[in-house]
Amino acid sequence: MIELFYWEGCPSHPEAKALLEQVLAELGRDDQIVMTEVRSDEEAERLRFPGSPTIRVDGRDIDAMGANGRPSLTCRIYYLPDGRVSPVPSREQMEAALR
């Protein structure tokens, strides 16, 4: 199962979803992405949501390094392969998690 958790206060989730769909298509997969909106600090705690977007494949966060961040309604920080900061996971992270 592929889940994408997001918070509306952060504008990054449409870009993350589009990239995830693109990677899935390139890998020849037709999985549905289960979208879950996180609306409160309590939900963030309950869902162990370290920021938006958070993507899990079969329950496993695609970015292990950031998975244990403090649960919070915030934009999540990702690092691209070249070290730059990004508000969305890299294509490489998605591919690695889906292979």
Binding mask 6-45 for another protein (x = CB under 8 A): ---xxxx----------------------------x----
Integer Cα distance of 82 and 69 in angstroms = 22
Complex with another protein: residue 29 or 39, whichever CB lies closer: 39
In 1-99, where do the E strands start and end?
A: 2-6, 33-37, 54-57, 60-61, 78-79, 85-86
Respond yes or no on whether the N-terminal peptide bond of residue 50 is cis (omega within 30° of 0): no
Residue 19: both structure tokens together: 């990239």
Which of the stretches 18-26, 29-37, 56-64, 85-93 binds another protein when contact is defined by CB under 8 A? Answer: 85-93
Complex with another protein: residue 81 or 85, whichever CB lies closer: 85
Q: Does 83 bind another protein (CB under 8 A)?
A: no
Q: Does 66 bind another protein (CB under 8 A)?
A: no
SS3 content of the chain, % helix, strand, coil (to 5): 30, 20, 45
Interacting residues with another protein (CB under 8 A): 9-12, 41, 72, 74-78, 84-87
